[in-house]
Structure 1
Amino acid sequence: MTLQVDLFWSFRSPYSYLGMERFKQLERDWNLTVNVRPVYPIAIRTPEFFSQVNLMWPAYLMKDVFRVAEHLGVPFQWPDPDPVVMDMKTRTIPKEQPYIHRLTRLGIEAVNRGRGLAFLDEISRTIWGKAVKNWHQGDHLKDATARAGLDLAAMEQSIEGNEQAYEDAIKVNEDALEKCGHWGVPTLAFKGEPFFGQDRIDMCLWRMKQAGLEPRT
């Protein structure tokens, strides 16, 4: 029997990117289907979040993501541009967001085309792992999409004029994330139980083994 696990994931989450190799390994090594469920980052879902957190939190975050990357041996740089436009001094989020809506809708379309995990992997590598400046320009996203086995132009053609349907799909994912008991990403949800963070993957695997998860043959 193939088990199912939901993966709630954001294109602006460094920890989502840092967990990607292990998310892929779950599906590669175990009789398991990872259901990719893209959501908007907390900065979009809760714009006041960053203005309310402890002032020490952003500095700690930056220290932590780089050391996690070093510990895992994963290439890592903060994206340029950031997928979410943000005033770092005031920690406010302007309404005009030229990148994150496009990326998240494309994530939904990749899932619709059966290549969700591969698309998230290649796009996040381009944004976070390869230190590609202006990743949103030229052929960077096109080439990453092709490596995932998809055609960027065809995906964007499917989205054009149907944006609300994709927004509705994203909202369904966000509601499901909250229903399972969390709000952050990456979160794995197995039978309604949330495992938040790239450092909880092994614990989720342990739980799934209790439910009969077997190695892929």
Structure 2
Amino acid sequence: MTLAYDLYWSFRSPYSYMITHRLTALEREFDVVGNIRPVYPLAVRTPEFFETRDPLWFSYFMQDIHREAAFLGLPFRWPIPDPVKMDFATRTYPKEQPHIHRLTHLGVAAAELGRGLPFLTQVSHLIWSGEVDNWHEGDHLARATERAGLDWAALSAIADQEADRLATIVEASQVAQRTAGHYGVPMIAFNGEAFFGQDRFDQFKWRLEQQGLKART
């Protein structure tokens, strides 16, 4: 029997980027499949979360993401531009956001087309690897989408023409995420248990093995 899990994931989360390659390898090697549920980042849905953080939270976060990427052997740089527009001086987020809503809707549409995880993997690499500047310009997103096995024109049309429907799906996923046990990303929900953070991947796989995880034949 194919095991299934829910993945709650954000394009603005460096830790979300860091888990995708392991989930891709997991699904390639084992009979398990993710229900991919992109969500808006906390900076968009609950920006006040960051207003109450101790200043050490941010400095440690910036240190940790570079260290963790190096530990995992992943190329990494803070994106240019940031998927979420932010005033770093005041650590505030304007209501009007040029990138994150459409990115998230593209992810939902890709999941509906059965290519959710490949799309998240390719696009997060584009955004976070530092291999290109201005990931939102030119044909960068189109090429990443094609590498994920999707047609960029068709996917873009869905995101643009069905934005309200896709936003409703994202909001439902955010409610389901909290019901499943956490608000942060990446978060995996499996068999009534939440695994928050990319550093819980090994525990997640351990649970899968307890439930009869089998190699693909």
> TM-score range with shorter-chain normalisation?
over 0.9
Counterpart position of 1:159: 159
Do the aligned residues in 1 keep the contact of 2:102 with 2:159 (CA within 8 Å)? no
Amino acid at match of 1:160: D
Amino acid at match of 2:179: K
Q: Distance in 1 between matches of 2:192 and 2:45?
A: 21
| Unaligned runs of at least 5 residues, structure 1 | none
Q: TM-score, normalised by structure 1?
A: 0.97
Deviation at 1:130, TM superposition (A): 3.5
Counterpart position of 1:36: 36
Counterpart position of 2:213: 213
Do the aligned residues in 1 keep the contact of 2:78 with 2:130 (CA within 8 Å)? no
Q: Distance in 1 between matches of 2:34 and 2:25?
A: 10
Counterpart position of 1:74: 74
Do the aligned residues in 1 keep the contact of 2:79 with 2:130 (CA within 8 Å)? no
Amino acid at match of 1:107: G
Deviation at 1:63, TM superposition (A): 0.5
Counterpart position of 2:12: 12
Counterpart position of 2:96: 96
Do the aligned residues in 1 keep the contact of 2:4 with 2:35 (CA within 8 Å)? yes
SS state at 2:209 partner: helix
Report the aligned-residue RMSD: 1.0
Instruction: Extract structure 1 runs of 4+ deviating beyond 4 A.
Output: none
Counterpart position of 1:135: 135
SS state at 2:15 partner: helix
Q: How many residues were matched structurally? A: 217
Q: TM-score, normalised by structure 2?
A: 0.97
Do the aligned residues in 2 keep the contact of 1:7 with 1:187 (CA within 8 Å)? yes
Counterpart position of 1:188: 188
Counterpart position of 1:179: 179
Q: Distance in 2 between matches of 1:203 and 1:161?
A: 40
Deviation at 1:57, TM superposition (A): 1.0
SS state at 1:188 partner: strand
Q: Which moved more, 1:43-52 or 1:96-105?
A: 43-52
Deviation at 1:59, TM superposition (A): 1.0
